[in-house]
Structure 1
């Protein structure tokens, strides 16, 4: 079966929820996603959700077919035009590369690089099954790019990156554009960047969430399994020593109800608050899984053997656990108030500037985040 009706329904749903350009919509109508996830029911293949395709020895997902909604956003950020030469970091299933090939047309070239040989081989098989011959899949560490076909008009990473690899910037044309899920102290945003006066400036920013890059260019993020059954995980932007957070979570919390209404009450705290904590609170954390109050994916502050996390009811509530829980809850509630008073900024309110090396000269006012190869300066426009 062709499943053209299912593809059209997927595109229609996406366009009801977000802006999708006609070139990207047409590429999604044309490329059969179900051929890139064999073994998955075609009905699921055309839902707007990610599909995990590989896990590591601990059962954590390390590769997937990304959610179509974020794929459409990033493809529109990238702005591929017919005849463009495109480099993709992270081949995955090959589906995104096929979309890129459709956008670049018969006169364009797409190179997709993946660190895992099995994934690269599968991507080639999937592309062949879909009749897509305009993609070259290379097994290599994507941090090195692919100099053989440089320079490129566009570069996109479909894996979370902690830093901008020098090879990517070197292999792009002077007027080239890159789109990457960039880590900002543990929070990812899809940033479209172009050169400007010797540095890189964001043209658009959108929220996203991708599996992290592996290999020498992996970032310092840490994901710790606090409990396996039921599963509960703690994510930190970088390694730091903590006490028995799990035991603290089992204790009765101290609750502080803020005056900030949560627009969508539920178990998942919004990206705006997560981003604010990441940029302003070095002790911030992400808690996901099953807690005594039910399933959750929330943010908070962890220190020593204490933790405070947010809950979304009619208002945002800070719940502090452990010996220092009351203090952390008060501090967390303070961050919620500050975020609200700033206009509840979200990813789209960010401006990100990347300077090569550790340079500070000429940097605009903002929050400085130092990476291995670049220095980021992040500034916020007022929300609302």
Structure 2
């Protein structure tokens, strides 16, 4: 049997930054499971450079539990690491390496639990689901979920092992990331009124976004389970202009909406598009008919709000030994599972306080606690 620590060392050794292929890691997991006589399905992307993995332990004729994790990690570029990011190292009870917390630590614990899950008959199946490109918009898992939707026995619930210090999480906000391209008309800055300044019109759009965001802070829209307790809007990237003496013809900015589960983030984009169409474009086109404002979606995923009284919530409370359910500020693939009728809880070792940072780590104590949680799950699922 391989320990979760040994498996984590192997997983961290694969550079699965989202811009890279994850196939070496997927093939490692497939070979590990095959040695235990667990068959795997691989669901590839269009170029076959990346893949999701899905495996089933126990009976396949009834709904079961999915243990889900993403294999990709964020870049280490420009971060002041003091240890090798793609080599597991230990210091003072902590295991360092990119992805140790987010979220290869959980995947390692799941893989280490397989022999124990196979040792006794299970009354319901346990599925292992590994995805790609979660960090760039929860992209890869969608093809896996499309496959699951077609099956006669869709899973009952899903446990996504994002780092929550093993506290059961039932909710997070949804996200919509958008791009806005503003096209005006260039001219010499000495004759500025003859042009259409794309930067200035983009600034008006960004100002309108701020006003829309302020409206979302209204107390009647709050959900006190979340921090902050309201939906948020922010502009994160902007570019435009060629030189100070040229009225800029083009400007681009990216913005995001992080919405409470009960709110639709696309309403913000619709409000902004209405403002552009009704207020800005008539003024722009009065100067130059070729002026335009275009919006495009970069990525999106739904929020999560699992009922605390659901079977999924009660099962995870049994496995974790805690029914102190909470929420998190970051997003997960959980809303996508929930959207196709698979009740989802987020619970995994480590803390997102360490995620995405240099010298990312998970404590050995947290890894051991996750092993214990999965042992309790195996015991509870025995027939």
TM-score by length of structure 2 reads 0.28
Pick the structure with greater CA Rg.
Answer: 2
Higher relative contact order (CA 8 A, sep 6+): 2
> More strand by proportion, 1 or 2?
1
> More helix by proportion, 1 or 2?
2
